Structure 1
Amino acid sequence: MTAELVRGQNHPLPGTRLEIRVSAGVPVAAGATLCDAAGTVTAADRVAHPGAPSLPGVQVPRRAAAEHRLTVDLGAVPADVHRVAVHLALPEGAGGHDRFGAVAAPFVAVAEPDGTGIATYTLTGLTTESAVVAVELYRRQGAWKVRAVGQGYEGGLAALLRDQGVPGAAALAAAVRAAVAPGPDQAAPAPAPRSGQDAPGRRTAPAAASPAPGLPAPPAGAPAPRPPRTPAAPAAAPEPARPGVPAPPAAEHVPPPPSQPPSQAPSQAASSGGPIDYTHPRRRTAPPPPRLPSAPPAPPGTPAAPVAGDATGWSMEERLYNQVWGMFEDLARTTAAYRSAVDFAESRMAQELDSALSDPRSRLGTAGDAARAEARARCRELTDRAREALDRDLAQLTAESEVVEPALPPAFARWDNPVWHAYRVPTEPPMALRLGDLHLPERPQLRIPMLIRLPLERGLWVDAGRGGSEQALLMDEDRLRRLALDTAVAHAARLLAAHPPGGLTVQVIDPAGSGAAAFAPLTASGVLAGPPAAGPGGVEAVLERLVRRVDLVQMALRGGADDDALPPDLDTARQLLVVNDFPLGFDDRAVTRLRYLADEGPAVGVHLLMVADREDAAAYGPLLDPLWRSLLRVTPVPDDHLADPWVGHAWTYEPPRVPTGSQVLHQVLERVAQARRARGR
């Protein structure tokens, strides 16, 4: 049965040889790009277009036409290709139309070579766009799937190619326009069947000039970073916040994995003296050797068995990191497809009911009842089909999560993971850290680890206020504040555990001493640089010391000096400042210094971890708004304030929980302290 896809929905492919048929109301130019795991095209010769219609495994038409037939053999594409994106573009003077909103919606059908239908997709909702990514064929755990994309671009084919990182995108788009300008409609013939020695499943050797970077951070020498995505229409409407639930801060996006080279990673402030270095420890500059398949391929039509670390990367740690982000993206998109399908079914039913009621002859009697019953039945059928597809994808993601979670290293693992019992202080920091879990209401028990890159690009704010989720509103204020402080201590302990001995110095500001009980694990183990600072004098001394460090390191960076030029009493380790009960004990001068550290500190190794209620700082007025915006808000109780960078779902954030009665946090801090004492001898 052929699947009718909606935007964002995916469907498994039964084989590797396919035909993609395109039908449009006016002549369009069809093409395809061969992308790596990050969705980037590493060279211009990875683009099949009318001027160069043949690539390994891909054949596209040579002319603009209203009807197209593209042939794809996924078993013949290079091994480092993970996505084949099929795009359509309106040539200049396409029947007098220069935007898809003025023509009939293009229709795409994916079929087997014998014509058996696999999936169809109608590209609705386009307006001023003149180029669009219609569908993509992508590799997931050794199997291939098709996804309905429908991502349009007002800037035309040049903007589309630029967004995929194609070198010389403008010149290539001009060459495509020149190739399709004259000439009648003409479709490219299908390639001849392959010989037995080129059997399905075998891949040609990857091109030597094509790197295979990991998803989050390509190695040095990788292609230039992709420019910001500027599509004319989003892939799906953002999920609105739940009515009746206050949300003082605006929903912010979960930090996506950086896709630029380490030397060009963003920083919080342009004047900080240098960007954050995302270089992975012992990063190699040459592509890693191809990995052997970790499991035999699944039979056609059945999902592959999940395997931990089944993603691109330079190490198992990076493969797991990329795999977690792949699960996060898959869950976001499959849920968006389900919600879109349900909205479509309900909208269609409403239209059919309105039509039945508008006809006086069928408004009353059995004819009207039959029309209404038929409309509701069609709505249930569409909704059930959408739910069936969602349940299938969720079951596969759940199986993958059950395999991946036990294989995570300590920095990525929950506190109840047995891997912490074998914890050893690392000699190098990991590439990322787990801040909690994320889930959606369609499957709350399917939780995706929330991983953020190290070093932190932004400070953290643990919200101790009651203006967030329903659970916070119903909780006693004192208990919520203690829970927020416990959460901050757990974050600080995890950051300490992720750094080598002496790699992170933790300082605490507790003006009134109200957090003494919560800070006990840090103070008792001896991992703090000194006792928590109390009173106005203590606050002033700590802030003065950290501001001086930021200023000196910035001057050294701008002047090109090395660490030897810094004063001998300056602590060059990364700094974490934990602030409790803000703004209690902070005068205007201290607030100004805190804002300075939040803006300028991350780029030179000074990070904030604040525990505060935004309402307590209301007396300062809008002066503190930049401070809150510069920090990543996390909560001590579940709260749906985070959005993904793809479709904008409201994700529920679950804070990290140390199991009740467990001594794992104390044991980890004790090992950190022992490693520091051994290093100091």
Structure 2
Amino acid sequence: MTAELVRGQNHPLPDTRLEIRVSAGHPVLAGATLCDEQGRVPGVEWIAHPGSPSLPGVDVPRQAAADHRLTVDLEAVPGAVHRVSVLLALPGARTGGTTRFGTVAAPFVAVAGHDGTEIASYTITGLDSESAVVALELYRRQGGWKVRAMGQGYEGGLTALLGDQGLERPSDLAASILETVAPEPAPVAAPQHVSEAERVRHTAPVTASDPAPTAPVTPPPTPATGPGTGTPTPAMGTTAPTPATGTSASGGPGGPVDYAHPRRRATPASAPAPEPREAPPTPVAGDASGWSMDERLYNQVWGMFEDLARTAAAYRSACDFAESRLDRELDETLSDYRARGGGANDAARTAARARHDELVERAREVLDRDLAQLAAESEVVEPALPAAFARWDNPVWHAYRVPDGDPMAVRLGDLHLPERTDLRIPMLVRLPLERGLWVDSGRGRSEAAGLLDEVELRRLALDSAVAHTARLLAAYPAGQFTVHVVDPAGAGAAALAPLVETGVLAAPPARGAAGVSAVLEQLTERVDLLQMALRAGASDALPPGLDTARQLLLVHDFPHGFDDRAVTRLRYLADEGPSVGVHLLMVADREDASAYGPLLDPLWRSLLRLTPVPDDHLADPWVGHAWSYEPPILPPGSGVLRQVLARVAAARHGKGL
């Protein structure tokens, strides 16, 4: 399976003997640096470049070329090496050339195993005035190796790149490396050890007029439905393009080399015609790796999230590239005074816009194909989810039974992207919770919140918090999850009624300042006792009768009823509680607590912010998306919440299920 990476994404390496293939639209020199754990290069002897192409475990080409193959044996690199950075540089910089990566086709790099199977690929888009770039990074991780798509460009060229990696006198070193490159590099540099069949399969640069030098233009992989669905699968049925006319080179006894698009492979003349495009695989619920069905479904949902993130990132990257290239071509047209007469400018602008539209249209076709496959997978996965992962309108809740084992995860809502708002990915959060939850009753920046008055927004926030609480109670075995509620003014009595009337609470909701203080003191003492017992290794010395169940504190109407001492204890529970099984669920508007100033900033940052209405506030550092969050909504008039809570209470009190 091939993983198409976007900038910042990583992928595990199943093999330590690797071949790194580079295809660019212009001759480049390729090299590698061996870095320590801090990403620093201790000295020049840790750099593989054309003048010194071999290091322990790393071999790079001796010349600049449009295509390269680097060999890496990660088992052979020194033990002090924690990262291997693959770098590319334009050799024209040594003679004062003005070539930059933004003026040539986007470089493409791929990592393949020792048997030639491609593991991961990355098209380096978004470059402009840079003349050197760190393309990939191979790094150690938990006893294994991974590859990360970097795409870190440097306007200062190779000098800036080497200086950023901690080398002394980088300008002298860069000059000496560039001087080793032959002035007229061969168009294709084929390693001597490859077979003639491999020579024929080499790719070469595209011309500047090629409309598809960026990653998203070639169809990205369809969502995987086999084991390990988080790993992308390769697109099928890609046909080889016609070789460019007027460009050929001798590949030795094997004959001429076809110059094809760097993202595609030209098949030998004797090879059979490509098979027709196969239909996408039929999605199957639970078709992922895992020891149990719940684990397989969890991994499958996570894989769907990754697939949606990746395909949306590829589409956006293609559109950005098309826009930047259109702007550049229009600027070049306007600056060419020779073409101002005779309508040549108009023709050039029309051609540039046509190329832009073609790129965007092809990227959209790929996006629609991948989204359709994800939608089909969602249709079969959603009905198969267990209660803890399912929406409230799923029939599985009507057959709910209190579980016997500890839960794996719980659903806190849905996520979607603007490319297709009806495709919802379940937001599953692993249990036990690593951080508290905060249901924001303020307006924030949500358009939906702006249409509601303050009273309605606060009511929806508490309703949402009650639904989250019910899910957590339903996910744990009987007696393994205890809920405390703080409602100082009693303003949430109606929304809290299902929890109170079914008897799932440890005690009635605490009222007034005295009630708030008593609950916080009880939970703070519990955290202190458990922390001391764990640090001393004396968990059997806990006081008799101590409730060993996980605890959830639901706080409504904060900061009403809280004095400075209570606020300090609340912050302590948010910071220290999760490690010993005490969790926090806040229902609050941050503006209400603005009088505390920055004192409460650490509290808000420590909590996972949820909203009672749709909002695009959840940031994804993996690819930089802002995901839109949809809160869990009970069907109108449904009694499923009370039904589930009644069964939880019956099991808690030993009255059967």
In structure 2, what is the equivalent of residue 400 of structure 1?
377
Distance 1:443 1:380 in 2: 21
Q: Is 1:358–2:325 an aligned residue pair?
A: no
C-alpha contact 2:134 2:150 (8 A) present in aligned 1? no
Q: Deviations over 1:96-124 (max 9, x none)?
A: 99xxx99868844889999xxxx994566
Letter in 1 for 2:378: S
Residues 609, 134 of structure 1: CA spacing in aligned structure 2 closer, same or farther, 3 A cutoff?
closer
Note the C-alpha offset of 1:305: 1.9
Displacement after TM superposition at 1:380 (Å) = 1.0
Q: 1:606 to 1:680 in 2, by over 3 A?
A: farther
Q: 2-side partners of 1:192 and 1:368: how far apart?
A: 45
Q: Which amino acid aligns with 1:607?
A: H
SS at structure 2 position matched to 1:518: helix
| 1:367-390 Cα shifts (integer Å, max 9, x gaps) | 333232222222111111111111
Equivalent of residue 639 in structure 2, options 649, 663, 668:
663
Asked if the contact 2:109/2:122 (under 8 Å) is kept, the reply is yes
Contact kept in structure 2, 1:71 and 1:190, CA below 8 Å: no
Give 1:641's aligned residue: 617
Q: 1:442 to 1:95 in 2, by over 3 A?
A: closer
Residue 654 (structure 2) pairs with residue 654 (structure 1): no
CA contact (8 A) 2:403 2:476 kept: yes
**Residue in 2 that maps onto 1:35:** none
Describe how 1:375-390 pairs up with structure 2 within 5 A: 375-390=352-367
Per the alignment, residue 544 of structure 1 pairs with 521
Q: Which residue of 2 aligns with 1:677?
A: 653
Distance in structure 1 (CA, Å) of the matches to 2:93 and 2:457: 63
The residue that corresponds to 2:269 in the other structure is none
Task: Show the counterpart of 1:509.
Answer: 486
- The residue type equivalent to 2:592 in the other structure is D
Secondary structure of 1:444's aligned partner: strand
Change (3 A) 1:376 1:618: same
Contact 2:6 2:623 in 1 (8 A): no
Distance (Å, rounded) in 1 between the aligned partners of 2:124 and 2:23:
10
Normalised TM-score (structure 1): 0.64
Q: Does 1:576 align with 2:579?
A: no
What is the identity, as a one-letter code, of the residue corresponding to 1:488? A
1:637 and 1:66, CA in 2 relative to 1: closer, same or farther beyond 3 A?
Answer: same
Distance 2:54 2:572 in 1: 54
Quote the residue 2:467 is aligned against: 490
Aligned Cα RMSD in Å?
4.4
Q: 1:191 to 1:379 in 2, by over 3 A?
A: closer
Q: Is the 8 A contact 1:462 1:633 kept in 2?
A: yes
CA distance in 2, matches of 1:186, 1:365: 49
| Structure number with bigger Rg | 2
Cα distance change on mapping 1:121 and 1:488 into 2, 3 Å: closer
- Per-residue CA deviation, residues 603-624 of structure 1 (Å, 9 max, x unaligned), is 0110010100000001111111
The equivalent residue for 1:450 is 427
Percent identity reads 64
Question: Are 1:623 and 2:599 an aligned pair?
Answer: yes
Gaps of 5+ in 2: 10-18, 34-52, 72-83, 139-146, 159-188, 199-226, 231-274
Structure 1 partner of 2:271: none
- Alpha-carbon distance in structure 1 between the residues aligned to 2:558 and 2:124: 53
Q: How much has 1:20 moved relative to structure 2?
A: 5.2
Q: Does 1:368 align with 2:371?
A: no
Q: Does the 8 Å CA contact 2:109/2:135 hold for their aligned counterparts?
A: no
What is the aligned counterpart of 1:133 among 115, 133, 136?
136
Q: 2:584 and 2:550 mapped to 1: Cα distance?
A: 11
The aligned residue for residue 163 of structure 1 is: none
3-state secondary structure, aligned to 1:519: helix
Structure-1 separation of matches of 2:54 and 2:278:
32
CA–CA distance in structure 1, aligned partners of residues 32 and 527 of structure 2:
53
Corresponding position of 1:140: none
Letter of the structure 1 residue corresponding to residue 648 of structure 2: V
Aligned residue in 2 for 1:499: 476
Pick aligned residue for 1:434 from 407, 411, 414 = 411
Letter in 2 for 1:571: D
Does 2:560 match 1:560? no
| 2:578 aligned to which of 585, 602, 606 | 602
Once the two structures are TM-superposed, the CA of residue 189 in structure 1 deviates from its matched residue by: 1.8
User: CA distance change for structure 1 residues 302 and 586 in 2, over 3 Å: closer, same or farther?
Assistant: same
Work out whether residues 483 and 553 of structure 2, in 8 Å CA contact, stay in contact via their aligned partners in 1.
Answer: yes
Query: How far apart, CA to CA, are the structure 2 residues paired with 1:71 and 1:623?
Result: 54
- Residues 8 and 622 in structure 2, CA contact (< 8 A), matched pair in contact too: no
CA deviations on 1:215-238 (whole Å, 9 max, x unpaired) are 99xxxxxxxxxxxxxxxxxxxxxx
Partner in structure 2 of residue 473 of structure 1: 450
Task: Tell me how many residue pairs correspond in the alignment.
Answer: 491
